[in-house]
Chain A
């Protein structure tokens, strides 16, 4: 009698033909881009694609593993980018040498104090205060304290802007910002998930769209913290920059950093997916009621996976911002940072990490190449219109041609959902005969 049980659930091993074909095609495409556009450009494309791959991995565990739809990837990306900026930009002496840090600390102290007072007021019913009276006291106190604190805060923020420009960074290595970016994004994800995950799945999408716009509005308008529309650059790199070793080599070094990051994330996710925890997550996705009947804490697991995805998005956003060496809050667009990632995930194969990475690289190449293509097609159309109908083309044509890409992304989403809902590399589900 053999002591090892035969694995009844594992699918029989076969040669992964589909994976090999698809990745060879991708390799050919990448080499083609190298041949046409040159090494420096193509390496930059690969680094950006790898940053997007981290974002896509974050989304694939939310959407593919757990069926949660996060429509606000942009917000978490922006948070990560902000952290990368805040921790790595050199220290602003003009700010730290003045009396402003003390004032800022005092105001922040007020904010914490006010929050504690309001929280205390909300617990007054423990002391025998009637609940209705407690609610009235809490709300009134919250409104008054909020107004007091926020006007004090506006004063300090205005002073910082006029005297020192902005707070400046902390001058720490980039990776500190990457980690904190992940933590911060996870924290925001915890808040959103805590509110929405027990409710209908649509509410999460609505709330994440909202929080993404709010984060962007905050980063754009907080000139004292982020310089707002004036943008912050350059952000230091964790590897030697282009000025020291040249564009191609510097970008290749950066690419190796992101590759190591992706490999680590991929390995950990792979382990988690096949661990009991991963099985439980998929069981909850596929049949919530029966997993609840088996005693699984559904909301808790959902929250875990949502926060985990948000952490990855924060890290990805931070790595991307560091690479671009520029923090521009206005550059965060729902199209580039939410829907592009969504297309990568649903096209590559939600729930399949390999498929997601393939989707990220492939879609990013198509996305970059579509820009000159759209301009070229628009020019053709204009020439045709001018010669045939004597049509007078409007001046803003270039920006309009780029809008055609919005249309294509939307069309791609609907078509994939309709005709290939499992993506190019579907998640492997195992069946028991």
Chain B
């Protein structure tokens, strides 16, 4: 049973953590894709920017959280979301809108977004340095060890405070997004525009507003994802290139332009990553004595080493592009 608890700690919890972060990131990417029809490569850096804003605010007011009994970074999150949304809208106005007005091909927008990526990266590293920093400036990271009431289990289930907040926040954002897209006027207009921009414009939807709203949503979600990731581990200015591939893989797995699919895709990629680096030899250990002589178990039965984790989202991406390019839920735009 100890092995099973180990499995829960290393796969179920770690996979849900990675999955939630990828899911929130992928929703932003897929929203931008469905409205503006291009792959927004600067999303990883918008996430980093959001986390950096939280770090900045937390360093400025380290005591703010103690009054309310929650970690300070979470108090600062709404403010950081607003700042990131503002940044996203500003980037769109300065860099993407003129290109859109020129009617360039989507791939030129992709290159422009790579340019924005580099600019954001340069700015963030200029101010934040290149090392990692913990978002817990003044608070303590609580770690809960939950012993299981089963005979013979010595290893407790370990879960940390930021992980609990992460699950709660992910659930909240998904539910809020669902109600926004399905109930509100703006959300319906967004869906209409993603289905058919010309028809949406003809029926009186202000496409400029929709584009701005999309950027606000994407920026806010990116700030949430970046902050949650940095809370769980540490804030690193050079996260984005490693986030880009899993997030895009998640968006494509779920079907591009399909927000619910992106959430599912995020969890698929997150769990695939953790399952692939998990050492399966541990689960087989209890049966070691009953195995035949010729079958000696090697020490490491992981599919890929941790250093090759990035192979997993790539493999998923290639597999989905080969067998089902529209994604598992049949995306709307392709």
Contact = CB atoms under 8 A, between A and B. Distances in A.
Do most interface residues of chain B lie in helix, strand or loop, or is the interface mixed? helix
B119 A411 contact: yes
Given A213-B241, A213-B245, A339 B118 contact: yes
Contact of A400 (B118, B126, B248, B308): B126
A383 interface: no
Interface string B290-334: 000000001011010101101101100110011001000000001
Contacts of A151: 298, 300-301
Given A196-B321, A199-B321, A221-B305, A67 B105 contact: yes
A120 to B, nearest CB: 19
Contacts of B46: none
A400 B125 contact: yes
B98 interface: yes
A396 B118 contact: no
A407 B308 contact: no
Given A71-B114, A196-B321, A407-B118, A217 B310 contact: yes
Interface in A208-226: 209-211, 213-214, 217-218, 220-221
A69 B39 CA distance: 12
A396 B99 contact: no
Contact of A408 (B99, B122, B252, B308): B122
A146 interface: yes
A202 B112 contact: no
Contact of B318 (A195, A346, A414, A417): A195
B317 A410 contact: no
B130 interface: yes
Interface residues of B, number: 54
A419 to B, nearest CB: 9
B110 interface: yes
21 contacts: A69-B107, A151-B300, A195-B321, A199-B325, A200-B106, A205-B107, A207-B317, A207-B318, A209-B241, A210-B313, A210-B314, A210-B317, A400-B125, A403-B125, A403-B126, A403-B130, A404-B122, A410-B120, A411-B119, A418-B95, A418-B99
Interface of B: 38-39, 41, 95, 98-99, 102, 104-108, 110-112, 114-123, 125-126, 129-131, 241-242, 244-245, 248, 252, 280, 298, 300-301, 303, 305, 307-308, 310-311, 313-314, 317-318, 321-322, 325, 334
Interface of A: 67, 69, 71, 146-147, 150-151, 154-155, 195-196, 199-203, 205-207, 209-211, 213-214, 217-218, 220-221, 334-335, 339, 342, 346, 394, 396, 399-400, 403-414, 417-418, 421
